Copies of this chain bind each other. A is one copy, B any other.
Amino acid sequence: MAKMTRELVLAGLNLDAEANMPMYRQLYEYLQQAILNGRLRPGQRLPATRILAAELGVSRNTVMLAFDDLLSEGYLEGRTGSGTYITETLPDNLLQVPKEAEREKPTCPHEIGFSQRGAILTEMPIGTINSRDDIRPFQHGLPALDEFPYDVWSRLAARQLRSMPSHGLSYNCAAGFPPLREAIADYLRTARAVRCEASQVIIVNGAQQALNMVTRLLLDAGDAAWMEDPGYIGALRAMLGAGVRPIPIPINEEGLDVEYGRGLDSGARLAYVTPSHQFPLGVTMSVCRRLQLLEWAEENDAWIMEDDYDSEYRYCGRPLSSLQGLDVNERVIYLGTFSKVLFPALRMGYLVVPENMAEGFIAAKTVIDRHNPTFEQMVLTSFIEEGHFTRHIRRMRLLYEARQEVMCQAIEEEFKGQLRIDFADAGMHVVVWLPEEWDDQTAARRAEEAGIVTAPISGYTEMHKQPPGLVLGYAGFSEKKIRSSVRRLAVALGM
């Protein structure tokens, strides 16, 4: 395969006119070594002799002499009309010149040299979702990407490209592109009843960065935090990565069991919750429970991290207000993401922090990575301001509701009522509960073998054992695909 044309800049090459060795020979040896030790790769193109001579400040003749020798010895090959390349198939004996002494390489994190806190982060599994191009049913956590109005988005992006002001290339505000912060604040006030001004909104590199920032900025290593059990692994990892002790708190039909948490007297400084639609169980936290939680936070000088990851999708009744909107004591840090309502590759989310914390969070964002890329922020601003955002959400709400109905019907039909589904009134996934004696990891493996992706509930469980269950995402799959895949799942599970 011909490599792409890419011109070389040769580093570490100083030709010395005063040396005993002629300059063309110095160049010859430099290139030979670079080929042998792999810095120059088979198939790679060398600059034209004229350009290289100018770069090196030598005569073109010098370069041509060096090339001639390398060509005649088989290191280089000339292709008519397209320049000089490193030979694609170098003789084996040339390449067997020892490169560097190979050492036994350690693989354990501490031996490798990671710090203690580093080892916690570096040992976390990378996860399969990151390396897969094809999205298989019932992968959860992904929206219907083929329904995203990409034509609109790309039209706005193209317009933005044409009108990019030059300050759009320089550093921008650490808190985010100001009009985007305004647009998000407007949206959150009206759609989620979040109490906020644009000055409290901080644009971050996805919800995952938000989780990390909150954990690091509000808690010290060794501090305890309530974690939903079962709960979202991204939040758990942010806590562990920050050296925070997660305290698993069970979920019941009203949401996080605040009384249970109070009983532990763990001295927790923060509670992580998904009140709109608990991940993974799907419970909506009751108003009474919300008030209890706010009371606990106020009494204990603790924080609530409200992750409102897919709150836009509720199919029965009106969307519930955010927990943040109920809070009069500024105890709630609210976080949201565009990965679920738009698309994950955008890597954009936001934090809403109490007014007197905004400046501190912005300072921290500056130290962490200065700010999010500007271009996407500008395109997203237009997308929201011109009404495409709420229109898309409304469309997806209808689509996902229909898909969820199909999903539940298909499960009812294929599994003949043997699998229970709870809380199928919101979100982008359902949990199906398996017969009690089953092991959900085994079930997930059997599904996987049949090409169906499921996530066993036990995989999200720290301490409070749940019945066996599987998380099934439906948002991204057509009704036809959902039906056929449920059938396939039923066969795989032998039901």
| Contact surface of A with B, Cβ cutoff 8 Å | 4-14, 38-41, 44, 56, 100-101, 105-107, 109, 112-119, 121-127, 129-131, 133-135, 142, 145-146, 148, 150, 154, 157-158, 161-162, 164, 166-174, 183, 186-187, 189-193, 195, 204-206, 208-209, 212, 216-221, 223, 234, 237-238, 241, 301, 303, 317-322, 325, 328, 343-348, 355-357, 359-364, 366-376, 384-387, 390-391, 393-394
Given contacts A345-B169, A357-B114, A361-B122, contact A10 B190 (CB under 8 A): yes
Residues of B within 8 A of A234 (CB): 367
Min distance, Cβ A408 to any Cβ of chain B, angstroms: 21
Instruction: Give the CA-CA distance A5 to B356 in the complex, in Å.
Output: 31
Given contacts A145-B166, A322-B11, A345-B373, contact A126 B174 (CB under 8 A): yes
Given contacts A363-B124, A369-B209, contact A193 B161 (CB under 8 A): no
Residues of B within 8 A of A374 (CB): 345, 347
Instruction: Give the CA-CA distance A114 to B42 in the complex, in Å.
Output: 55
Min distance, Cβ A219 to any Cβ of chain B, angstroms: 5
Q: A101-B328, A124-B363 are in contact. List 16 more A-B contacts (CB 8 A).
A: A6-B183, A11-B191, A14-B317, A39-B193, A105-B356, A106-B356, A109-B360, A112-B360, A114-B360, A115-B223, A118-B217, A118-B219, A124-B364, A209-B369, A212-B367, A373-B376
Residues of B within 8 A of A301 (CB): 113
Assess whether B158 is in contact with A170, with CB atoms less than 8 Å apart.
no
Min distance, Cβ A260 to any Cβ of chain B, angstroms: 25
Residues of B within 8 A of A118 (CB): 216-220, 360, 364
Which residue in chain B gives the minimum CB-CB distance to A219?
B115
Min distance, Cβ A34 to any Cβ of chain B, angstroms: 8
Assess whether B186 is in contact with A6, with CB atoms less than 8 Å apart.
yes
Which residue in chain B gives the minimum CB-CB distance to A187?
B6
Min distance, Cβ A352 to any Cβ of chain B, angstroms: 14
- Most chain B CB within a 10 A radius of its CB, from A7, A122, A169: A169
Instruction: Give the CA-CA distance A448 to B376 in the complex, in Å.
Output: 33
Given contacts A129-B171, A238-B367, A356-B106, contact A303 B162 (CB under 8 A): no
Assess whether B13 is in contact with A318, with CB atoms less than 8 Å apart.
yes
Min distance, Cβ A142 to any Cβ of chain B, angstroms: 6
Q: List 10 A-B contacts (CB under 8 A).
A: A6-B387, A12-B318, A12-B325, A56-B318, A101-B328, A114-B357, A122-B357, A124-B366, A171-B345, A376-B376
Assess whether A319 is in contact with B11, with CB atoms less than 8 Å apart.
yes
6 A-B pairs closest in CB distance: A122-B360, A12-B321, A118-B217, A345-B374, A169-B343, A9-B191
Min distance, Cβ A314 to any Cβ of chain B, angstroms: 10
Instruction: Give the CA-CA distance A14 to B287 in the complex, in Å.
Output: 13
Assess whether B221 is in contact with A117, with CB atoms less than 8 Å apart.
yes
Residues of B within 8 A of A146 (CB): 166
Assess whether B347 is in contact with A369, with CB atoms less than 8 Å apart.
yes
Assess whether B373 is in contact with A112, with CB atoms less than 8 Å apart.
no
Q: B105, B208, B218, B237: which contacts A355 (Cβ < 8 A)? A: B105
Q: B130, B131, B220: which contacts A116 (Cβ < 8 A)? A: B220
Given contacts A191-B11, A347-B372, contact A363 B125 (CB under 8 A): yes
Instruction: Give the CA-CA distance A187 to B360 in the complex, in Å.
Output: 38
Residues of B within 8 A of A317 (CB): 14
Min distance, Cβ A377 to any Cβ of chain B, angstroms: 9
Assess whether A369 is in contact with B11, with CB atoms less than 8 Å apart.
no
